[in-house]
Structure 1
């Protein structure tokens, strides 16, 4: 067996070991020896079954990973040199090298064509591992609808002669991963032990009042996992339901009251009369302003019929909008994200009875619904738990509860300036 002390004989291995420290190579050798011992082959190699069991990778995705890590020899033997070479490319390579490895990985059929069926198989495996039950048939069927929302966000534009299904190019795959950060994180960390806090595997714990009918909740755990991909680990630990229009009434005033004591980030979700589900992540507390505010951690998202996240492009700083009790038409009362005044990326009026969504350069997002002008059917808002040791000071200007802030002297209305409406 090649190891961290033996002179390298394979050029690929000789190049790969330079990506690791001496301690990292020793740790890899210890791991290899442990798994090889379990494979009952005089510690010469790791078997497929032991590899799949240790890394928690089963089904076509696990078989494909083993095939790639073992240099596609198809001899069912994974050597120490194989492990070092694969981890060097998959975890230590350049961004392009890592994404190329992932692109090959999700081609679970191994035919060098990334088809819709490959991605469907990968997504079903991911959801089964994260959320599944013991019955694989039940697991696959129960996750099929959420799998479809992820696939609906993909672009299949490459047509290979003789291929009877939709095919995805490498560039389209990279673009797809950009809008699905949880999936990208998870696919890039599968050679980490599952119990090590594998990136992309975190699912927020969703808290709501006892007795709440779960069928009323829009934010499924799969959606929460998807949305958490754009956040830090501390921000995906616990989310609490602050407001739900089916439980609290479709009322802006009730919304204000329910979120008034939450000073952290929030997730606003809308289901409209068209059946589309979308919303925005507000990194700053909702406070009365006459102009845009917020920071670059805000983002817009779609959940159904497509699942996508749209993060700030840097084109402008028109991130969050929250106006209450203004009388100027140039300061529309309501809650919104991105774009410009009266042409937001997403906006819901203060009556909660109408709104709109347009494509906007702030987030590089499209119209989030089937139509630009929307009628909310359900609105819910989740509070993200405070991060321990969160930095203070950068947002000192945003103080007091929402109710405190919007009860400011209303005589100032004639003195406020217009909001920044640059697109």
Structure 2
């Protein structure tokens, strides 16, 4: 498709894209929208049909998009106030089966209500906000994933819009500059830039598909249901915790992790539910598969990291290039591995000779993100940049205090295997690390002095009263 064609040409082309079942579903939906009018449906008919699922603004702009696709021959009698059956079929074929240029045309109409050579960033922000609202309207009553969450109020919507639009407005060498006080909302972007941006922005395409599939429920093979937008939240004690995440934040993070992990998030740990204990946190996260940890510091910054494999006690770094760090507030952004080193994940406890705590990126004592085993303390020593993830300082200050910490495992649930815990040092298991530290004169002070049992001070879950 991609270009306007005459009525018979584009109609026949659209028919080829649709299965017999899809054509029958389109005819059924068309009849439902039209009601008693056999000639077609009006703008108000479309609004009345879809207002329970989609914002009125999107529906009105969608009507004009439907009227724009067919170039009629001179003398053909067409009612400009009604969408007929051919126009409707061509519209749905374009929405669900069209090429990238078709998606750009749809986007421009949804932004401004007409075909345009360029679109302002502020208009794209309004479109993203309308898609988010429509997704909630369409999914709330029947989507088990959305109903499984009790999100915080949507305070991060503007951050989400900026994050989605950042690839459009920034050059590659500008992406490290995250001071977005003067975000270029008035900048204009032509169809070529929009097409390239859409290719780099799967979360927006997924929003499009989900919203329009809810509005027009036809069976379409390429609708992106295999990698859901929102995961099902499992085992979360909502009467005891307030998540740090709103819907835009979950959309943002879930689209960033591998697709096979996106269907379910399993609640592991929250300071409101389990108390402020590093040992308790460890018992909840060890050997539970890939996970996302989210930190809020006492200055209101929200940030965290994705661990691509289970957390295990180890004196060496672990993980893979699928790991990343992120910020959610005051800005929203992902920081992917640079390839400079493989210092993705680190977890240790109870050692005199190694850092004790949980870290991601950087190097020992200078982590991109560090949570100290003395619970409540952390640092983000990333000036000018974390070598592993190219992330900036995530917290407001280099060292920070934790206000809230929550952790989710992602993907299929793993049965937690109890880690092998002995009264000895972790260095007893890691002979290489022990030998290296001895060579550096940093070995154990005495083989006779042993560290405390790693889980000896682990309390049970705190029986805290419900949140008011």
Mapped partners of 2:128, 2:271: distance in 1: 35
Q: Does 1:287 align with 2:307?
A: no
The residue number in structure 2 matching 1:65 is 62
CA drift at 1:34: 1.0
- TM-score, normalisation: structure 2: 0.65
Q: Does 1:100 align with 2:104?
A: yes
Mapped partners of 1:312, 1:177: distance in 2: 23
The residue number in structure 2 matching 1:29 is 23
The residue number in structure 2 matching 1:202 is 230
| Mean Cα deviation higher: 54-63 or 270-279 | 54-63
CA drift at 1:269: 0.6
The residue number in structure 2 matching 1:186 is 207
CA drift at 1:406: 10
CA drift at 1:25: 3.6
Q: Does 1:212 align with 2:209?
A: no
The residue number in structure 1 matching 2:355 is 332
Contact kept, 8 Å, 1:120 with 1:147, in 2: the verdict is no
**Pairs within 5 Å for 1:174-323:** 181-193=202-214, 199=225, 201-205=229-233, 207-209=235-237, 211-214=239-242, 217-231=243-257, 235-260=261-286, 263-312=288-337, 317-323=342-348
1:184-215 per-residue CA deviation (whole Å, 9 max, x = no partner) reads 4112444324567864543432533364153x
Q: Does 1:169 align with 2:175?
A: no
The residue number in structure 1 matching 2:370 is 347
Supply the RMSD in Å over aligned alpha carbons: 4.4
| Mean Cα deviation higher: 374-383 or 401-410 | 401-410
CA drift at 1:222: 4.5
Mapped partners of 1:379, 1:70: distance in 2: 51
1:89-109 per-residue CA deviation (whole Å, 9 max, x = no partner) reads 544455x53663464255245
Contact kept, 8 Å, 1:321 with 1:337, in 2: the verdict is yes
**Pairs within 5 Å for 1:365-404:** 365-384=391-410, 386=412, 400-402=417-419, 404=421
Selected match of 1:130 from 130, 136, 140: 136
The residue number in structure 2 matching 1:151 is 161
Residues 401/49 of structure 1: CA separation in 2 closer, same or farther (3 Å cut):
farther
CA drift at 1:253: 1.4
The residue number in structure 1 matching 2:35 is 40
Residues 409/387 of structure 1: CA separation in 2 closer, same or farther (3 Å cut):
closer
**Pairs within 5 Å for 1:2-17:** 9-13=7-11, 15-16=13-14
Contact kept, 8 Å, 1:90 with 1:101, in 2: the verdict is no
Residues 29/182 of structure 1: CA separation in 2 closer, same or farther (3 Å cut):
same
Mapped partners of 1:387, 1:176: distance in 2: 34
CA drift at 1:255: 0.9
CA drift at 1:379: 1.4
Selected match of 1:356 from 372, 375, 380: 380
Mapped partners of 2:295, 2:25: distance in 1: 47
Structure of greater Rg: 2
Mapped partners of 1:255, 1:315: distance in 2: 30
Residues 174/14 of structure 1: CA separation in 2 closer, same or farther (3 Å cut):
closer
Contact kept, 8 Å, 2:233 with 2:267, in 1: the verdict is no
SS in 2 for 1:169: strand
Mapped partners of 1:313, 1:104: distance in 2: 35
CA drift at 1:169: 3.2
Contact kept, 8 Å, 1:336 with 1:345, in 2: the verdict is yes
Contact kept, 8 Å, 2:303 with 2:329, in 1: the verdict is yes
Mapped partners of 2:340, 2:85: distance in 1: 47
Residues 310/72 of structure 1: CA separation in 2 closer, same or farther (3 Å cut):
farther
1:254-298 per-residue CA deviation (whole Å, 9 max, x = no partner) reads 2112324x5232220101122110111223110123333223443
- TM-score, normalisation: structure 1: 0.71
Mapped partners of 2:424, 2:411: distance in 1: 26
1:84-130 per-residue CA deviation (whole Å, 9 max, x = no partner) reads 55455544455x53663464255245464324255135415523641
Mapped partners of 1:321, 1:254: distance in 2: 17
Residues 301/178 of structure 1: CA separation in 2 closer, same or farther (3 Å cut):
farther
Q: Identify unmatched segments of 5+ residues in structure 1.
A: 1-7, 135-141, 159-163, 391-398, 419-423
How many residues are treated as equivalent by the alignment? 381
